[in-house]
Amino acid sequence: MKHIFLNLKRFDIPKEYGGVNAIAPVEQWGSFIVRNTQEALKAYKGRDTEFVMFFPEAHVLNAVGALCEDSPVKVGCQGVFRQDTAIGGNFGAFTSSRTANAAKALGCSCVLIGHCEERRDKAGILEAGGGDPSAVNRILNQEIREAVRAGLNVLYCIGETFEEQPRWQEVLKEQLDEGLKDTDRTKVTIAYEPVWAIGPGKTPPDSDYIGKIGAFVKETTGGMDVVYGGGLKQDNAAMVAAVPDMDGGLIALTRFSGEIGFYPNEYLEIVRLYLDGGERRETKGSKRSDL
């Protein structure tokens, strides 16, 4: 299966408040994105591809409400708490924390866990309290287990920083081993984020590096699906599609200059470029096998 994930971060914030939202009023933003993508995505029915969109929580209800019958879009949220409600147990005393059961009740079917921005936040909290930053992977493991218990599928992000790159195998293996411990791996997809290459002026990894990471993840996890989480874009979609050990990608911003932001029509173009690139790769592979 191929996976096209969309992390909408906080792209809902209007420009007058320092955000990038220029596509719809805040109260219509979630439904606008779903309505302006789902019909076009139906064209890929039968291509064994899932389309998951991770919304900030405030927009989940509008996004779910905009889903049409047989919509190919799956709505997800951006993280869940490491504890949850239970019949006969805690009834919901989790002020400020979104639990997996809350996400499920809102209509989510998926959740994004371990994104580099979440990892950085948790590491900062632990360091400020004099704690062990390596505990981040164990906290994320608790989140994954709660998400799966609630019936959510998980996109689990891993990745190494610039300082960690010389020992990338050790870092990624620890993130995988600790994060996936005692979880149902059939409910989890891995996203690789090259944290060292994310940001203005930095050089993104080439296809060889991405392929090397994909092969390492599959070998370490026993063949779990892994997607490129460093930003699937128009200018790299065909390249990522041609990497044999990558099963999809994670999209965020669609426009990086001028009126930067997320635009549904540009998202659809990235999807087209990626899936068309993958189809060409499979066609070439079939031709070679016939020789």
Angle at 5 between CA 255 and CA 16, to 5 degrees: 40
Catalytic residue among 115, 118, 146, 160: 115
Q: End-to-end CA distance of the chain: give it in Å, rounded.
A: 26
CA dihedral 102, 105, 110, 112 (to 10 degrees): -20
Catalytic residue among 118, 143, 160, 193: 193
Instruction: Report in angstroms the alpha-carbon separations of 168 from 66, 136, 211, 215.
Output: 41, 17, 14, 13
Tokens of 193: 């984020």
59 is catalytic: no
H/E stretch holding 4 reads strand 2-7
Alpha helix positions (H), 69-206: 100-106, 116-128, 136-149, 168-179
φ/ψ of residue 191, rounded to 5: -120, 125
- What CA–CA distance (Å, rounded) separates 206 from 190? 19
H/E stretch holding 202 reads none
Q: Are 220 and 176 in contact (CB under 8 A)?
A: yes
Instruction: Report in angstroms the alpha-carbon separations of 138 from 26, 90, 114.
Output: 35, 22, 11
115 is catalytic: yes
Tokens of 200: 């203005």
Q: How many CA atoms lie within 13 A of 139 on its CB side?
A: 19
> Which positions are annotated as active-site residues?
115, 193
